[in-house]
Structure 1
Amino acid sequence: MADERLLTISTFARAVGIPASALRHYAAQQVLEPADVDPVTGYRYYAPGQIDSGVLLQRMRSAAVPLPVMREVLAGAPSDGARLLAELATHHGAASRQREEELAALRALLDPAPAHRTPATAELLGTVLASAISQVLHAAATATADVSGLVCSVGPRGLELIATDRYWLAHRRLEAEADGGEARAIISYEDAAEVAAACAHHDMVHLELTEQGLTVHDAERSLLARTVAVERSVPDLGRLVSTQPSARALAGFDRAELQEVLDRSDQSDKLLLVVGNGTTALHAGGARDDAPVLSGRATPGEQLEVLVGRALLAAAVAVCPGEEIVLSLVDTTTPVRVASPVQDTLTCLVMPMLP
């Protein structure tokens, strides 16, 4: 019989954030093997000392580290593991740049003269533009270079500003007098912050957007800012927001109370959101074992349980104004929609965590 001090695979899975099925796969690949396997039942047990390795494995899994590299990192010294991951990051960076160059060349082949297109233009209050950029840009504050920046889009939906770090996204739609067709471009994080600063004290501003960059003038057509677009394929993140499936449940929290719980340094990194029977509860540690750390209101309907990261949810809530936060839930894999009733032009999407 296994030592009682050992952890069952389900307990270990919850502790490190890796599904039990994945742990069995990693054991078969000799990446992280259990400390003991019962010869009669086949039950797997892990030692408490393996939790650090399990957490490291979970982070490498999230970063899409290949199995052979995972195996070497866990089997070797920390310094050797750091070197292997640095080499992997360099390889991925070079491959990403090569792919961007190839895509740019293909785009130029299919559309050799995009610079001659008429810019998409829009007019709106500079103070509104500055505030919206600063609000949305929080989502890219810690983003890696391949997703960092502000996606600007002018088209039938008006002016859209979007930023993401892959794990959560902020989207703000602004009503604007648009003309000249459609355009979309990525502005670097630093340039976007400079545009916000340049527009912060102006009333009406006029912006021109092309695939090559963004130009902003004041009401007298004096130049306020000019940026060059990041040379990277521009995803239509606005469509990602507009095509989100309908919510199966809505949960409401007092914003101040929710922010206080999320900002507590002693709080677990995992929170379980349980919605049903007209109420909602937030449980720490990703399980319903203990009393909820916060309760709120919910729409009547079937019960849903969604696991979210505390830091991601806190970041999304922080950019929402007003006294109430509304969370829209679909299922355990669809992003949680975070919004404020007082600003329906802002939407944040937070990726849920795997159980």
Structure 2
Amino acid sequence: MPNSELMPIGAFARRSGLTSSALRFYADSGLLPPAEVDPVSGYRYYSAVQVTRATVLRQLREMAMPLAAVEAVLDAKADDASRLLDEHVSKVVGDAAAAQQKAAAIKFALGDVPGLPIAVLKGPVLAHAVEQVLTATAREPGMPALAGLRIEANPEAVTLTATDRYRLSTRTPVPSEPPVQTWGGTVDGDELRTAVAEIRRSAVVRLEAVPHGIWLRVADREDRHCRLLSEEFPDHHLMLASLGEVTTRATVSKEVLLRALEELPGARMALHIADQGVNVVSADDEHPGIPVPATTAGQALQIQFELTTLHPALSTAIGPDVMLDLRGDDQPVTIRSADRGDLTTVAMPIKADHSA
């Protein structure tokens, strides 16, 4: 190859983002040998076509991938390389979760602080409630509490709450034993999701509060620790207390209403509620709409929603029929099971001009 098409190791290092010493190491290991080595001076030269391999090599090492795995990815076809990447990421995530649990156990042992009993619930009941309520979480810059689940306990009940500002879900699962403490905290949502698989397989789960976290104590399985978020959770009590009087009510089949939402085009839709039932129309289109049988009471109403707000609020409802309690076209709607369950979701509509 003509020398004019080669670059010295320093220039190649700048192009690839690797240091000269790293390039020498990868050359000696066989991962990235230079295109040419001057037989007199020993200077190493690289070609432009090696930049891509060098860049990917650097990125793989930044992911803490072992050298053997890096070589396998670099030399594999696209499908095999994707599989190897997925396997590595899965292992890293699993190792991180295991390390997090071990660190929590060590901190708990070093602190020598007894856990504060919060509540005792059946594992499958708690797991189901957590999964339902966590659908209302969101990741918002500057608002980490929206990614958490609020747990509150008092001698009467245990309540789980989450909100993404457009939707608020709350459920009050029945405890196995009446709580003896009044306690509240916002638990990291991602860590709770990871713990769900374990707590679902435990007949009983005991919640204990410790500094900066909670323990999910399970019998014959590994206890799980979840961090508490320090950021303040939105004042959902004030919001729920300020809901106005219900002026329109519709009871409708959850499956039929969801199917109508899924069949309509567009990201926004309107519910036209009248004596004859509910008509679901696309807010962005001239679609004639889909009539949905419903039992209605109160004032006729037209109200618009984002699909991403209304669909999950309906899909997580318990039971075959849902009850919609409405207060006007610009007020939150309350969605709950028509006949059973304690999951309640409050969903915000959008204005007719499509602004939230």
**Shared fold by TM > 0.5?**
yes
Q: Is the 8 A contact 1:119 1:183 kept in 2?
A: no
Q: What is the CA–CA distance in structure 1 between the aligned matches of 2:240 and 2:341, rounded to whole Å?
A: 13
Which stretch shows the higher mean deviation, 130-139 or 301-310?
301-310
Q: What is the CA–CA distance in structure 1 between the aligned matches of 2:181 and 2:163, rounded to whole Å?
A: 25
1:133 aligns with one of 120, 130, 135: 130
Q: What amino acid is aligned across from residue 299 of structure 1 in structure 2?
A: T
Q: What amino acid is aligned across from residue 272 of structure 1 in structure 2?
A: A
The alignment partner of 1:134 has SS state of helix
**Deviation per CA, 1:122-145, whole angstroms, max 9, x where unpaired?**
111011101111111111155555
1:283 aligns with one of 277, 281, 284: 281
Structure 1 equivalent of residue 157 of structure 2: 158
The alignment partner of 2:190 has SS state of helix
Q: 1:238 to 1:132 in 2, by over 3 A?
A: farther
Unpaired runs of 5+ residues, structure 2, are 1-112
Q: Is the 8 A contact 1:328 1:337 kept in 2?
A: yes
The alignment partner of 1:152 has SS state of strand
Output the TM-score relative to the length of structure 1: 0.60
Unpaired runs of 5+ residues, structure 1, are 1-115
**What is the identity percentage for the equivalent residue pairs of Structure 1 and Structure 2?**
22
Q: 1:157 to 1:352 in 2, by over 3 A?
A: farther
Structure exhibiting the larger radius of gyration computed from Cα positions: 2
Output the TM-score relative to the length of structure 2: 0.60
Q: What is the CA–CA distance in structure 1 between the aligned matches of 2:194 and 2:245, rounded to whole Å?
A: 36
Q: 1:122 to 1:291 in 2, by over 3 A?
A: same
1:354 aligns with one of 337, 351, 355: 351
The alignment partner of 1:139 has SS state of coil
Structure 2 equivalent of residue 170 of structure 1: 169
Q: What amino acid is aligned across from residue 212 of structure 1 in structure 2?
A: H
Structure 2 equivalent of residue 263 of structure 1: 262
Q: Is the 8 A contact 1:160 1:238 kept in 2?
A: no
CA apart distance, 1:350: 1.0
Structure 2 residue 314 is matched with structure 1 residue 296: no
Structure 2 residue 339 is matched with structure 1 residue 339: no
Q: What is the CA–CA distance in structure 2 between the aligned matches of 1:330 and 1:280, rounded to whole Å?
A: 16
Q: Which runs of 4+ in 1 moved over 6 A?
A: none
Structure 2 equivalent of residue 71 of structure 1: none
Structure 1 equivalent of residue 80 of structure 2: none
Q: Is the 8 A contact 2:272 2:301 kept in 1?
A: yes
Q: What is the CA–CA distance in structure 1 between the aligned matches of 2:158 and 2:180, rounded to whole Å?
A: 13
The alignment partner of 1:179 has SS state of coil
Q: Is the 8 A contact 2:319 2:341 kept in 1?
A: no
- Paired residues, what number? 238
**Deviation per CA, 1:148-186, whole angstroms, max 9, x where unpaired?**
111111124511111121111211111223434311111
Q: 1:300 to 1:234 in 2, by over 3 A?
A: closer
Q: 1:338 to 1:210 in 2, by over 3 A?
A: farther
- Aligned positions of 1:99-248 closer than 5 A: 119=116, 121-140=118-137, 145-146=143-144, 147-176=146-175, 177-209=177-209, 212-219=212-219, 224-237=223-236, 240-241=239-240, 244-248=243-247
CA apart distance, 1:315: 1.3
Structure 2 equivalent of residue 95 of structure 1: none
- The CA RMSD over aligned residues, in Å, is 2.8
Q: What is the CA–CA distance in structure 1 between the aligned matches of 2:238 and 2:201, rounded to whole Å?
A: 31
Structure 2 equivalent of residue 85 of structure 1: none
CA apart distance, 1:211: 7.0
The alignment partner of 1:339 has SS state of strand
CA apart distance, 1:203: 0.6
2:308 aligns with one of 307, 311, 314: 311
The alignment partner of 1:174 has SS state of coil
**Deviation per CA, 1:224-257, whole angstroms, max 9, x where unpaired?**
1122211111344356446533321111222222
Q: 1:169 to 1:143 in 2, by over 3 A?
A: farther
**Deviation per CA, 1:250-301, whole angstroms, max 9, x where unpaired?**
112222221122223x6122222222335322222269x7633232324332
CA apart distance, 1:305: 1.9
Q: 1:215 to 1:180 in 2, by over 3 A?
A: same
